[in-house]
Amino acid sequence: MKFRHLFSSLAGVTFLALVTSAAAQFAGPGRGSGTSPAANPALAKVFGQHTSFSANAQMKVMDASGKETMSGPITYKLLEGNTYWSMDMSQMKSDQLPPQALAGMKQMGMTEMVMVSKSDAKTMLLIYPGLSAYAEVPVPNEIPSKEKTDIKVEALEEETVSGHKCQKNKVTVTHAGKSQLFYTWAAKDLKDFPVRVEFSDANTKVQMDYTDIKLEKPDAKLFAPPTGFTRYPNLQAMMQGEMMKRMGTPPAPK
């Protein structure tokens, strides 16, 4: 029985590594390299004057053929270039997330994941509230924050999205000599907040539909390491630490 429990824990931790890596990519491509938007400075630039806000979003990820590969709700917060993403993998629909793996994640308390990226940092925080733990993960292809960002907006047609009359725009964000293309739908009744954003790379297309939009600044504490959580220097150390906890012998009852 004890061996079976150990095997289950090992399998769950191993799968967590795969899901964590995949979830960052599923969140959407960045800079044409498969980088998560949580680590992509370009995405934060398409909201125009709205440099700080909170919103929920329905995310849809499609492959090059247009087939949906993943969808589900997320929470997105922006604070002066710092980003906060939260997702619950149990609410995500994906062919790459088998039911038995999801059951293992639920048992381990690892379905909820938060990604925090600060504009001036080369690492992002990967937080698991169910574990009261977080790890620092290198930001792939990070771009020096001092580099100038050029934003070009080209107005297209007007469309209605989710009941909002919107101006559809083609937005090109160029940073450190590299460009990324976005399409945004700016709602006229929400001070031109883009209630829909689409972007893609060669293999993936992402659509984000924003709701429950709050245009005030979110709590700055959300963008800092969570108080009372165990800090791990990297994701591997986190998984090893959680595995060791599950391998430990519980104290004898008093």
pLDDT of 143 higher than 60: no
To 10 degrees, the CA torsion angle through 98, 36, 113, 146? Answer: 170
Tell me the mean pLDDT in the region 160-183.
92
Supply 113's token pair: 């994941």
The answer to the question of residue 252 being in a domain is: no
Could you list the residue range(s) of the whole structural domain that residue 17 is in? 2-247
- H/E stretch holding 76: strand 68-79
The answer to the question of residue 253 being in a domain is: no
Pairing verdict, β 133-138 and 82-88: unpaired
Number of domains present in the structure of the chain = 1
Share of the chain above pLDDT 70, in %: 76
Binning pLDDT at 50, 70 and 90, where does residue 154 land?
very high
**79-88 pLDDT, tens digit each:** 998 999 999 9
Would you say how long the chain is, in residues? Answer: 254
**With b meaning 16 or more CB within 10 Å and e meaning fewer, what string describes 59-80?**
bbbbeeeeeebbbbebbbbbbe
Average model confidence (pLDDT) across the chain: 79
- What is the reported pLDDT for 54? 97
Tell me the mean pLDDT in the region 174-192.
91
The answer to the question of residue 102 being in a domain is: yes
Binning pLDDT at 50, 70 and 90, where does residue 33 land?
very low
The answer to the question of residue 71 being in a domain is: yes
